[in-house]
Amino acid sequence: MDQERDKTLKRLARIEGQVRGVVAMIESDRYCIEVLQQLTAIQSALAKVEDAVLKDHAASCVERAIASGDPKDQRVKFNELVDLISKIKK
């Protein structure tokens, strides 16, 4: 899990740099298409981070709830996951 966490943190640091780059591009009146291309790259990178965090949640929190045998906790974790996936799809 720590290896995945480190990968996620590195991705977020790169995204942070990309966002700063877009700010600089806008401040220097760069061509709109170039800015939009960078924004698309940022969205793609964020989607990868989102996937990684979602997988981690399923592999840790949801898995623990299933293993606990507690139907209430299982239902809560499952519903959280369904609600989140529903929001992501919108």
CATH, residue 63: 1.20.58.1000
- Expressed as residue numbers, the domain containing 18 is 2-89
Q: pTM value?
A: 0.81
**pLDDT tens for each residue of 48-89:** 999 999 888 888 888 888 899 999 999 999 899 889 888 877
What is the rounded CA–CA span in Å between residue 53 and residue 33? Answer: 30
Helix (H, G, I), strand (E, B) or coil at 11: helix
Residue 1: pLDDT over 70: no
**pLDDT tens for each residue of 29-40:** 999 999 999 999
Helix (H, G, I), strand (E, B) or coil at 30: coil
Work out how many domains the chain is built from and give that number.
1
- Alpha-carbon torsion (44, 14, 7, 84), positive or negative: negative
What is the rounded CA–CA span in Å between residue 6 and residue 71? Answer: 33
